[in-house]
């Protein structure tokens, strides 16, 4: 009996610790900060440098372009380092096999070409109904995801933002036009976020733009979990709605037969 009570007490303690950890995770801030600077030249993208870091509680995920590696830190200690080149080896290894399979003549290549049949105009009303239903679903999805995006942006906190851009193109006239468009965006954004430092200038001599971006934002994990839960149930409800018309159409087809 004493052993059973000890096991039950241990389970209760473990469950309590898990609930406390889950509560701490939900109320914690997910902090995202990063830096990007250099010339934005298509032929010399390696000149751009920067890093991106995601932190929640005592866990940090860092992607550094100088090290070209993905680093996971736990309480400041590095526990995992994965080079970015190794992350893409799996997809790169699959490409030669797929190319070889495409080069080999298969059964599909040896089959004679099928002559497309001329479709008769049947079920026009059903196709129109399906088209209207898809339009309604797309409109509802647009409103739903836009509302979730607004909900997320309203709860994102901007801790630091510093952006310095030097616009340059081979065409000075295009540089002037881009500078005018950038100013029309920067000044309203500066008024919207007074803590942000936004600077833009035009360079009519250089041919490639350059700049620097420092950004630090944070959002509650509970906010992301709430949005993920809403998206999950929305997609599930939409899948259930699409299954019902198919079942009804199959029932009508069996009834007519």
Task: Let me know if 192 is exposed, middle or buried by CB neighbors in 10 A (0-12, 13-18, 19+).
Answer: exposed
CA dist 140 → 41, 48, 50, 234 (Å): 40, 41, 39, 10
Q: Which residues, in sequence order, are CB contacts of 118 under 8 Å at separation 6+?
A: none
Per residue, the 3-state secondary structure of 155-209, as one string, reads: CCEEEEEEEEEEECCCCHHHHHHHHHHHHHHHHHHHHHCCCCEEEEEECCCCCCC
Residue 233 maps to a domain: no
Q: Cα–chain-centroid distance for residue 103?
A: 35
pLDDT confidence of residue 29: 92
Task: Let me know if 55 is exposed, middle or buried by CB neighbors in 10 A (0-12, 13-18, 19+).
Answer: middle
- Positions of E strands within 196-243: 197-202, 210-220
Give the residue-averaged pLDDT of 141-147.
93
Q: Which residue has the higher pLDDT, 134 or 215?
A: 215
Nearest residue to 245 via CA among 132, 94, 90, 104: 132
Using DSSP's 3-state secondary structure scheme, residue 9 falls into helix
Contact criterion met (CB below 8 Å) for 40 and 208:
yes
Assigned token pair, 48: 């751009």
Nearest residue to 72 via CA among 85, 54, 57: 54
Total number of domains in the chain: 1
pLDDT confidence of residue 19: 92
Residue 128 maps to a domain: no
Q: What percentage of the chain carries pLDDT values higher than 90?
A: 32
pLDDT confidence of residue 232: 94
Residue 141 maps to a domain: no
Residue 157 maps to a domain: no
**Model pTM greater than 0.75?**
no
Nearest residue to 73 via CA among 57, 62, 82, 84: 62
Residue 193 maps to a domain: no
Using DSSP's 3-state secondary structure scheme, residue 42 falls into helix
Nearest residue to 38 via CA among 211, 170, 213: 211
Residue 84 maps to a domain: yes
Residue 250 maps to a domain: no
Give the residue-averaged pLDDT of 75-85.
85
Task: Round to whole Å and give the CA distance between 172 and 99.
Answer: 44
pLDDT value at 100 more than 50: no
Residue 102 maps to a domain: yes
Give the residue-averaged pLDDT of 216-234.
94
Nearest residue to 44 via CA among 210, 175, 212: 210
Give the residue-averaged pLDDT of 86-96.
57
Q: Domain span at residue 67?
A: 30-106
Tokens 């497309």 locate to 116
Confidence band for 113, pLDDT divided at 50, 70 and 90: low
> 10 Å Cβ neighbour count for 234?
15
* Mean pLDDT, rounded, of the chain: 80
């Amino acid at each position: 009996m004493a052993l059973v009570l000890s096991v039950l007490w241990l389970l209760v303690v473990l469950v309590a610790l898990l609930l406390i950890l889950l509560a701490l995770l939900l109320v914690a801030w997910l902090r995202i900060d990063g830096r990007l600077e250099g010339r934005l030249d298509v032929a010399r993208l390696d000149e751009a440098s920067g890093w991106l870091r995601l932190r929640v509680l005592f866990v940090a995920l860092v992607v550094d372009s100088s090290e070209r590696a993905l680093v996971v830190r736990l309480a400041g200690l590095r526990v995992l380092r994965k080079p970015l080149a190794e992350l893409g080896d799996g997809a790169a290894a699959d490409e030669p096999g797929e190319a070889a399979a495409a080069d080999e003549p298969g059964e599909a290549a040896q089959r004679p070409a099928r002559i497309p049949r001329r479709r008769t105009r049947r079920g026009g009303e059903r196709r129109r109904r399906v088209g209207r239903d898809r339009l309604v679903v797309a409109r509802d999805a647009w409103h739903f995801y836009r509302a979730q995006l607004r909900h997320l942006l309203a709860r994102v906190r901007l801790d630091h933002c510093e952006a310095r851009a030097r616009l340059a193109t081979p065409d000075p006239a295009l540089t002037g036009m881009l500078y005018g468009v950038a100013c029309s965006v920067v000044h309203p954004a500066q008024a919207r976020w007074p803590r942000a430092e936004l600077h833009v200038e035009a360079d009519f001599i250089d041919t490639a733009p350059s700049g620097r971006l420092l950004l630090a934002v944070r959002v509650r994990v509970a906010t992301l979990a709430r949005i993920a839960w809403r998206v999950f149930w929305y997609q599930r409800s939409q899948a259930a709605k699409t299954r019902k018309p198919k079942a009804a159409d199959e029932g009508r087809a069996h009834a007519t037969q």
